[in-house]
């Protein structure tokens, strides 16, 4: 799996949310200022080349849908962050997040409770 650029990830987030869409529907979801249709179309084609989306053609219209799930990309990204910034240590990652987000013991207990339920 390849890492996505910021623009690719923004478009991919929309495709994940919509599950199946045309470029014009992706464009509707993007905030102002809206990029040209051709820009979004190019990004979607790049996503297809990278193996993130597939399409079905209906005449000249293409409907795109994800091949790689959001969860799979989330895991890939988290592994990259953990490896690149925390020496592969999940413990160091969690410790960093606890300190950065100023979590207290109640927050941590609640998180552990949620994990036990899963």
pLDDT digit string (tens) for 1-56? 999 999 999 999 999 999 999 999 999 999 889 999 999 999 999 999 999 999 99
Q: The pTM is what?
A: 0.81
Contact 9, 66 (CB under 8 A): no
**Class for the domain spanning 6-66:** mainly alpha
Q: Could you tell me the residue ranges of all domains in the chain?
A: 6-66, 70-117
pLDDT digits (tens, 9 = 90+) for 50-90: 999 999 999 999 999 999 999 999 999 999 999 999 999 98
Nearest to 50 by CA among 35, 62, 37, 67: 67
């Amino acid at each position: 799996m390849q890492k996505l650029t910021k623009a690719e990830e923004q478009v991919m987030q929309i495709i994940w949310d919509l599950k199946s869409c045309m470029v014009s529907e992706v464009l509707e979801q993007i905030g102002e200022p809206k990029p040209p249709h051709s820009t979004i179309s190019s990004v979607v084609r790049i996503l297809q080349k990278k193996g993130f989306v597939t399409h079905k053609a209906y005449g000249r219209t293409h409907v795109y849908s994800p091949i790689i799930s959001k969860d799979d990309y989330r895991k890939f990204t988290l592994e990259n962050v953990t490896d690149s910034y925390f020496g592969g240590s999940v413990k160091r990652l969690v410790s960093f997040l606890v300190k950065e987000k100023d979590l207290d013991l109640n927050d941590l207990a609640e998180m552990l409770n949620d994990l036990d339920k899963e």
